[in-house]
Amino acid sequence: QNLTSELEGSMKNCQNCKSMTKKCKELAVSDNSELLESLKKQQAKDRATIEELKSMVNELEVENSKLTQKNKELSKFGSLANKSTDVYYDIATHAIGALEEISKSVLSKKLMKNPVLTPSLAIVDKVDVYAYLDKHPKHPFNKMTKPIKGKIFIPMKKVIDLRCELKSMIEEQEEINTAIKNSLSDADNNSSDLAKKISGLESKLKDRQEEIKGLNKKKNSLENELKNSKANITKLQQEIASLKKGSNKSQKNIDEAAIKGATKGYKKQITELDDKIKLHLNDQAMKNKEISQLKNEISQEKAQVTQFKEMASKYQSQAAQQKNQVPKLTQEISKLKKQISQLEEEAEFSTKQAKKLEDKNKNQKKAIGSFNQKITELNKNVDEAEVKKSYAEATTKKVEQEKEEMEQELTQKIKSLDKDLLRRNKIIVSQKKQMDSLSDVKKLQEDNGVLKDTITQICDSMETMLECNETNVPMKNPCVTPSGHTVEKEVLEQWIFNGEKDPWNGAMCKSTRKNLLASELALLLEQYKGVSSLDPQ
């Protein structure tokens, strides 16, 4: 009975073990199928995410290559900007140098202050005219050149070439500035796009990390189930060992065969689970490697973005500096434009002067022709004048001879009159003393009347001789003109003061030289007038 009861208990235990093994098998199969499906789904998701990440990485590599090329271009522009930080200043200095070359004198090779056109239409300084051309009248610049129609005016051509060169230089610099601005804007846009992509990748990484955490939880649950299954297997082995001791051989063999089959199935399941866990761990390690690579790439992209931001800030600062320098350059350019306009005005003035010189040359040629005609006429007149001059010289010689003869006669008459006057005065004095009677007085009155008539006649003749041709009045201070004629001193002084010429020969009147003989006659005339005015009583 005891054995039967033990056998029944063992049979119940075997049935329980079988039921437990069945449940374990079902659970293992169900868990394995679910795990396999979940692992397959997870692997598919992981593969899809890996492919997406690879495509993203490829896109980032392409964008990185583009950005590196743009960075090289920007570095070229930056090197150009570093080489010439102020390109407009270089343009201004170039323009000033070119203007200085244009505004140098051809003779002295110095900068001109007062540009002047020579007769040969060369532009020199006013100082050079006094220093070179006045001292060397045979200099080629002093020769009048015939202006050719349609000939290019060289200074104006130089100014036009300079203006075109400056315009092209400024346009090139503006194109460079626009290219730098566009590249900076592209760099800013690329940096913003990269920042967006990096934020998206970071969110995806967070999602993958959460999925990995879920997988780790599932892994831990599977490991716990494996531990539980191993513990159940050990319990079953112990129960089998206990049953072996108390059961029959036939029943023993049946149970051992069943248990061996169950253990083999469990061992296979355990090996499969171990393999799956290893694969899962390998996949997890690969994912961790890929995640670390992505993190490194993201850090590199962030570093590049920071570099681009620094480059953009540098270029923005350079652009701000250039903007600050633009007003100065605009002022210099406006000054240069004013100088160019002044040069253009000077060139126009010089062209006008050249035209005026042409007109003057034409007028001079006409004047020279008229002068030649006048010279021929004057030569004829000179011949006639020489004939008249010889006749006038002969007549003047005759007049001078007659004048000398008249003066000699006058001197003789004056001397005789002086003697008569002295004698008469002596007689008058002696007669006045001796007169005592009326008869003598009457005789004296008669004699004095005769003397008075003679004196008045002499005075009239002397007045006619001393009469001035200009005033028609007898002269008191007679002076001689350059032609030898005698006039009043006041008349000659007025001629000298007014700068008038001698009306007889056209010579300039410079000094008042007395006519001694005429002045003596004037004194005698005053004396005779005094004598004639005496009362005979």
Domains in the chain: ranges and CATH: 2-81+183-347 (no CATH), 435-532 (3.30.40.10)
CB-side neighbour CA atoms (13 Å) of 239: 20
Q: For the whole model, what pTM was predicted? A: 0.30
User: Which amino acid belongs to residue 438?
Assistant: L
Measured between its terminal Cα atoms, the distance across the chain in Å is 236
The C-alpha atoms of residue 23 and residue 36 are separated, in whole angstroms, by 19
| pLDDT value, residue 49 | 67
More confident of the two residues 217 and 290: 217
The mean predicted confidence, pLDDT, of the chain is 68
Q: How many CB atoms lie within 10 A of CB 81?
A: 21
Q: Does residue 209 surpass a pLDDT of 70?
A: no
Lowest-pLDDT range, 54-58, 119-123, 463-467? 54-58
Q: What is the mean pLDDT of residues 111-117?
A: 82
| pLDDT value, residue 291 | 66
Q: Does residue 495 surpass a pLDDT of 60?
A: yes
| pLDDT value, residue 250 | 46
- Give yes or no for a contact between 482 and 492, defined as CB atoms under 8 angstroms apart: no
Q: Are strands 478-480 and 486-488 parallel, antiparallel or unpaired?
A: antiparallel
| pLDDT value, residue 302 | 65
| pLDDT value, residue 441 | 44
The listed range with the strongest mean pLDDT (76-85, 245-254, 398-407) is 398-407
| pLDDT value, residue 444 | 47
Q: Does residue 415 surpass a pLDDT of 50?
A: yes
The C-alpha atoms of residue 92 and residue 330 are separated, in whole angstroms, by 10
The radius of gyration computed from the CA coordinates of the chain, to the nearest angstrom, equals 72
| pLDDT value, residue 119 | 80
| pLDDT value, residue 357 | 67
Q: How many CB atoms lie within 10 A of CB 165?
A: 14
Torsion sign over Cα 51, 56, 62, 64: negative
The listed range with the strongest mean pLDDT (120-129, 329-338, 368-377) is 120-129
- Give yes or no for a contact between 46 and 283, defined as CB atoms under 8 angstroms apart: yes
Report CA 493 to chain centroid distance, whole Å.
68
Helices 249-434 & 154-246 angle (0-180, nearest 10):
160
User: Which amino acid belongs to residue 140?
Assistant: P
- Model confidence pLDDT, tens digit, residues 191-206: 666 666 666 666 766 6
- Give yes or no for a contact between 482 and 508, defined as CB atoms under 8 angstroms apart: yes
| pLDDT value, residue 535 | 43
The C-alpha atoms of residue 45 and residue 32 are separated, in whole angstroms, by 19
The C-alpha atoms of residue 291 and residue 299 are separated, in whole angstroms, by 12
Q: In what order do the strands lie in the sheet with 486-488?
A: 486-488, 478-480, 513-514
pLDDT class of 437 with cuts at 50, 70, 90: very low
- Model confidence pLDDT, tens digit, residues 465-481: 777 878 888 888 888 88
The C-alpha atoms of residue 2 and residue 246 are separated, in whole angstroms, by 11
Q: Does residue 133 surpass a pLDDT of 60?
A: yes
| pLDDT value, residue 438 | 43
Total residue length of the chain:
537
Q: How many CB atoms lie within 10 A of CB 65?
A: 10
DSSP, collapsed to helix, strand or coil, labels residue 61 as: helix
Beta carbons within 8 Å of 301's beta carbon, 6+ residues apart: 60, 64, 194, 198
User: Which helix (H) or strand (E) element contains residue 123?
Assistant: strand 123-125
Helices 249-434 & 438-465 angle (0-180, nearest 10):
150
Q: How many CB atoms lie within 10 A of CB 100?
A: 10
Q: How far is CA 225 from CA 17, 219, 238, in A?
A: 18, 10, 20
User: Which helix (H) or strand (E) element contains residue 479?
Assistant: strand 478-480
Q: What percent of the chain has pLDDT over 90?
A: 0
pLDDT class of 536 with cuts at 50, 70, 90: very low
User: Which helix (H) or strand (E) element contains residue 116?
Assistant: strand 115-117
Q: Does residue 531 surpass a pLDDT of 60?
A: no
- Annotate 349-375 with b (16+ C-beta within 10 A) or e (fewer): ebbeeeeebeeeeeeeeeeeeeeeeee
- Annotate 277-304 with b (16+ C-beta within 10 A) or e (fewer): beebeebeeebeebbeebeebbeebeeb
The C-alpha atoms of residue 402 and residue 157 are separated, in whole angstroms, by 80
